[in-house]
Amino acid sequence: MKMRTTIALVLAVLCLFTAFPGTAAARPVTLVDFSWDSVQIHNRIAAYIIEKGFGKETDFIFAESLPGMMGIERGDADFSMEGWVDNILEFWDKATASGKMVSLGTNFPDAPQGWYVPTYMIKGDEARGIKPVAPDLKSVADLPKYWELFKDPENPKKGRLLNGPAGWKVTSINEMKIRGYGLDKHYDAFSAGSETALSTAIKRAYDRGQPVLAYYWEPTWVMGLLDMTMLEEPPYDEKLWNDENLYACAIPSVRVLIVANAKFAEANPDIAAFLKNYSTTLEQNNKVLGFMFETKADTRQAAVWFLKNFEDVWTSWVSSDVAEKVTAALKEEK
């Protein structure tokens, strides 16, 4: 009986360490991969620097947004390079108020989303022989006089806004925006079947030099490869946003934070300092995503491309000795 009790106690202790891997001393630095490309690229940029510059092993676990954030809160993982915290604000506020999670800063400026047109419609493209067809198109308020440029093939009496896929919250918001801006007399919203279908439709029109009006967001490969202009909207205003749920203003910006387990940040001040210095621009993000799409690179290859092409950026995040180690490792990359 005594032996059975001892074995039971040992198993109980082992189960505790299994349930809370963040307590295991030998575990690699673990990053949470969410389902979009940009976070996975940034995770690999950070992991490359941690491995080559700080000499620590890294690992990745996959999870969707809320489960992944909960894993960081518990200590199952250590951090992620993109926490879109405004999408899960109630959880984020509780996790930070409890002291279990911290923000280590902003990865890139607040992620914008809105309605875009190819810049050649406004400015033309001399190299492609495209003349400007809507030189005065600057904002959603200008869309009524240009509706015929975006003629809907299924309803030629109206223009078409290429909308997000059915089921996305923003897709229904865009449908209401058309009413909120009084554009329902001139435009219909056409929902794409998927994110891929939406980006494909935009690129097809762009490659042909045709007009297209579409909902999209940044950072994405679309904005990295194509010269697009986001139409101006009235600044976000809570009253306009909630007035009869017509959303007649810009979509509120979303913070993109580097989120970490508080105990990990405290126990690893050198890595925490590096992550606090980590900062990129939307343009840089669009470019690396464009490179990844165009060359069919994987996320690690995209991370190495970023490190090689933006040396002046990432070397400002770390000490000179760490930078030297990372630079030496990059020279060995093909």
Q: Is the pLDDT of residue 17 over 50?
A: no
Q: Which domains does the chain have, with CATH numbers?
A: 21-110+255-331 (3.40.190.10), 113-245 (3.40.190.100)
Taking each helix axis from N to C end, the angle separating 37-54 and 299-309, rounded to the nearest 10 degrees, works out to 60
For the segment 275-295, the average pLDDT, to the nearest whole number, is 95
Q: Is the pLDDT of residue 45 over 90?
A: yes
- Are 191 and 183 in contact, with CB atoms under 8 Å apart? no
Q: Is the pLDDT of residue 23 over 80?
A: no
Q: What backbone phi and psi angles, to 5 degrees, belong to 118? A: -65, 135
For the segment 72-96, the average pLDDT, to the nearest whole number, is 93
Measuring CA to CA, how many Å separate 216 from each of 18, 144, 174, 201, 234? Answer: 42, 20, 11, 12, 17
- Chain centroid offset of residue 168 CA: 16
Which range has the worst mean pLDDT, 16-20, 29-33, 55-59, 325-329? 16-20
Q: What backbone phi and psi angles, to 5 degrees, belong to 192? A: -75, 155
Q: What percent of the chain has pLDDT over 90?
A: 79
Q: Mind listing the pLDDT tens digit for each residue in 118-171?
A: 999 999 999 999 999 999 999 999 999 999 999 999 999 999 999 998 888 889
Q: Is the pLDDT of residue 1 over 70?
A: no
Q: Which amino acid is at 137?
A: L
For the segment 4-10, the average pLDDT, to the nearest whole number, is 38
For the segment 293-317, the average pLDDT, to the nearest whole number, is 96
Query: So what's the pLDDT on residue 208?
Result: 97
Tell me the whole-structure pTM to 2 decimals: 0.81
Listed residue (35, 51, 30, 104) closest to 303, CA to CA: 51
Q: Is the pLDDT of residue 54 over 60?
A: yes
CA distance 73 to 204: 43
pLDDT band, very low/low/confident/very high, at 26 (cuts 50, 70, 90):
confident
Which range has the worst mean pLDDT, 5-9, 33-37, 90-94, 319-323? 5-9
Query: So what's the pLDDT on residue 65?
Result: 84
Q: What percent of the chain has pLDDT over 70?
A: 93
Q: Is the pLDDT of residue 280 over 90?
A: yes
Q: Which residues pair with 214 in a beta bridge?
A: 116, 162
Task: Check residues 88 and 125 and name the one with the higher pLDDT.
Answer: 125
